[in-house]
């Protein structure tokens, strides 16, 4: 739906970047925000299509800095078209595509192909991430300058951490000259060989090899010291362990350029979900145990870890929420736990799941929204050429998300737009749902259908 103008009427407008939290009308002209009115208008001005947001919340479009779109090379798992359709349904107007494609996003030609596919088929904005090393093999740095010129927003070897400390040092130095971050996957592989889930009583009960917190925290500590050495810019992906938080907090106290993210599943699920009882623990091992939809890297941790990452997100030690949306084919999950691929498909459930933190009073609604809009917008600012993301103000891009915080719904994977239907939330009830997503002044999700921008 594209018109001369859109008037979003009757909603509670929350934009933490502008300290806005009030009833107001949002006026859109073309692809820009025209005005956030001081008071709500009784009706839309002439020439505007109306979006009724009564009893709903209006925010900047959500931003996800960690998404797996799989294309090119693994289109049976996800495509840019299906992944961005899922993003639109979840309220995301900007997503950053991780480089573990085939071929790997380690050169300008592949980046150009991804951007062309996004231009032709995407429902929302796609920003590519380049690989740190050629082929993500951890042996030789990719041509970061070429990748930066091609349009990447940062560099990551994704699920393959940069284990060689000297190579990581070089990467931080190289990237710092480009003003872009190294987005490392903090995992010491020597501590996780054969590991399947979080180390602890649940793993012992299930007979699965455990994955210690220190596999993550030791890599975070190493990376922080390399930032101190190089002056580089580091972003730690999907923090899950309470020990990692201490290192990140100390890095910020030292004034180092270190940021971090946490996923919806590490904020809301624990390792008891591997028992297949939606987080309940009956004390035994039932027929639903070894739920492969819970297998993720890093693994789901304990309640103590969950409480720690929530607190760190609340106080700003962890900067933002990122989905780590990782779709797989059904055959990658319908197998033994040991054989199953790591990953949860969650673009469509991400916001509703973390909204539970607001409903439980663990996070205020403005803080939660800030961590999904303004914070990732700041993270991307150096790479987007001055384009303001995660903000609602006159003249900014018209990327808007509207959600009903109180509506309850049941997660049905068969109804998802993503090709990855695997989620541990299948059959659970969530409270809160995105009803409208507007990207660049176009309604790309209206609660019933996704519109392509291609």
Q: Is residue 385 part of a domain?
A: no
Same domain, 72 and 48: no
- From CA 242, how far away is CA 305, in angstroms rounded? 5
Same domain, 40 and 150: no
Q: Is residue 75 part of a domain?
A: yes
pLDDT tens digits along 380-415: 998 887 789 999 999 999 999 999 999 999 999 999
User: Which pLDDT band, with edges at 50, 70 and 90, does 322 fall under?
Assistant: very high
Query: What's the pLDDT score for residue 448?
Result: 82
- One of 106, 158, 291, 324 is an active-site residue; which one? 324
How many alpha carbons fall within 13 Å on the CB side of residue 12?
12
Same domain, 189 and 49: no
Assign residue 334 the CATH number of its domain: 3.20.20.140
Q: Is residue 234 part of a domain?
A: yes
Please determine, for residue 306, whether its predicted confidence score (pLDDT) is greater than 60: yes
User: Which pLDDT band, with edges at 50, 70 and 90, does 138 fall under?
Assistant: very high
Q: Is 175 left (phi over 0), alpha (psi -120 to 50) or beta?
A: alpha
Concatenating the DSSP letter of every residue in 222-274 gives HHHHHHHHH---EEE-S---HHHHHHHHHHHHTT--EEEEE-HHHHH--GGGG
Same domain, 40 and 74: no
Q: Where are the alpha helices (DSSP H) in 269-321?
A: 303-315
pLDDT tens digits along 221-231: 999 999 999 99
Q: Is residue 452 part of a domain?
A: no
Query: What's the pLDDT score for residue 450?
Result: 65
Query: What's the pLDDT score for residue 387?
Result: 83
- Residue 348's nearest CA partner among 270, 261, 410 is 410
- From CA 34, how far away is CA 55, in angstroms rounded? 22
Same domain, 220 and 73: yes
Lowest mean pLDDT among 4-8, 37-41, 281-285, 447-451: 447-451
Query: What's the pLDDT score for residue 308?
Result: 98
17 by DSSP, 3-state: which? helix
**How confident is the model over 171-176, as a mean pLDDT?**
97
Same domain, 305 and 405: no
Q: Does 404 qualify as catalytic in the annotation?
A: no
Average pLDDT, the chain: 96
Same domain, 366 and 420: no
Same domain, 135 and 217: yes
pLDDT tens digits along 200-211: 999 999 999 999
Of 346, 380, 414, the domain-final residue: 380
- From CA 330, how far away is CA 176, in angstroms rounded? 40
Question: In sequence order, what are the residues at sequence separation of 6 or more whose Cβ sits closer than 8 angstroms to the Cβ of residue 71?
Answer: 78, 79, 80, 83, 101, 114, 117
Element holding 149 (H helix, E strand): helix 144-150
Total number of domains in the chain: 2
Of 324, 354, 380, the domain-final residue: 380
Q: Is residue 95 part of a domain?
A: yes
Q: Where does residue 194 rank: exposed (0-12), middle (13-18), buried (19+ CB within 10 A)?
A: exposed
Same domain, 374 and 418: no
Q: Is residue 387 part of a domain?
A: no
Assign residue 403 the CATH number of its domain: 2.30.40.10
Same domain, 51 and 75: no
Query: What's the pLDDT score for residue 226?
Result: 98
pLDDT tens digits along 408-452: 999 999 999 999 999 999 999 999 999 999 999 999 999 887 665
- Prediction pTM value: 0.97
- From CA 196, how far away is CA 185, in angstroms rounded? 17
Give the domain extent around 429. 5-57+397-445
pLDDT tens digits along 290-302: 999 999 999 999 9
pLDDT tens digits along 80-133: 999 999 999 999 999 999 999 999 999 999 999 999 999 999 999 999 999 999
Same domain, 235 and 86: yes
Query: What's the pLDDT score for residue 1?
Result: 42
Same domain, 65 and 51: no
Please determine, for residue 453, whether its predicted confidence score (pLDDT) is greater than 60: no
Q: Where does residue 395 rank: exposed (0-12), middle (13-18), buried (19+ CB within 10 A)?
A: exposed
- Residue 274's nearest CA partner among 216, 348, 196 is 196
Q: Is residue 67 part of a domain?
A: yes
Q: Is residue 305 part of a domain?
A: yes
């Amino acid at each position: 739906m594209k018109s001369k103008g859109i008037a979003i009427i009757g909603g509670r407008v929350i934009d933490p970047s502008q300290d806005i939290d009030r009833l107001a009308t949002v006026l859109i002209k073309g692809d820009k925000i025209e005005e956030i009115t001081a008071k709500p208008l009784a009706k839309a001005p002439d020439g505007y299509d109306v979006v009724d947001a009564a009893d709903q919340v209006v925010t900047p479009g959500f931003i996800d800095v960690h998404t797996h779109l799989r294309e090119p090379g693994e289109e049976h798992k996800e495509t840019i078209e299906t992944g961005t359709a899922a993003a639109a349904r979840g309220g995301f107007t900007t997503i950053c595509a991780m480089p573990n494609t085939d071929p790997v996003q380690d050169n300008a030609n592949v980046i150009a192909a991804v951007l062309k596919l996004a231009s032709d088929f995407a429902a929302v904005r796609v920003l590519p991430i380049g690989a740190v090393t050629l082929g993500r093999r951890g042996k030789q740095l990719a041509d970061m300058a070429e990748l930066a010129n091609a349009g990447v927003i940062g560099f990551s070897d994704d699920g393959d951490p940069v284990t060689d400390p000297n190579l990581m040092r070089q990467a931080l130095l190289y990237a710092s000259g480009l003003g872009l971050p190294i987005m490392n996957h903090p995992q010491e592989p020597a501590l996780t060989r054969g590991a399947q889930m979080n180390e602890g009583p649940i793993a012992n009960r299930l007979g699965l090899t455990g994955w210690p917190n220190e596999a993550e925290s030791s890599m975070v500590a190493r990376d922080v010291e390399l930032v101190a050495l190089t002056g580089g810019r580091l972003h730690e992906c999907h923090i899950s362990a309470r020990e990692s938080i201490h290192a990140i907090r100390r890095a910020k106290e030292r004034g180092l350029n270190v940021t971090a993210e946490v996923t919806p599943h590490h904020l809301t699920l624990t390792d008891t979900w591997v028992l297949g009882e939606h987080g309940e623990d009956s004390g035994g091992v039932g027929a639903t145990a070894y739920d492969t939809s819970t297998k993720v890297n890093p693994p789901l941790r304990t309640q103590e870890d969950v409480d720690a990452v929530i607190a760190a997100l609340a106080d700003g030690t962890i900067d933002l929420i990122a989905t780590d949306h990782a779709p797989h084919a059904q055959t990658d999950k319908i197998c033994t736990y040991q054989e199953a691929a790591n990953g949860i498909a969650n673009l469509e459930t991400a916001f509703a799941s973390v909204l539970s933190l607001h409903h439980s009073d663990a996070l205020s609604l403005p803080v939660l929204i800030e961590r999904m809009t303004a914070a990732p917008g700041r993270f991307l600012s150096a790479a987007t050429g001055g384009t303001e993301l995660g903000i609602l103000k006159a003249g900014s891009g018209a990327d808007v998300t509207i959600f009903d915080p109180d509506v309850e719904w049941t997660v049905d994977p068969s109804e998802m737009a993503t090709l990855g239907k695997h989620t541990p939330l299948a059959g659970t009830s969530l409270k809160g749902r995105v009803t409208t997503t507007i990207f660049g002044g176009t309604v790309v999700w209206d609660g019933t259908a996704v519109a392509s921008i291609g």
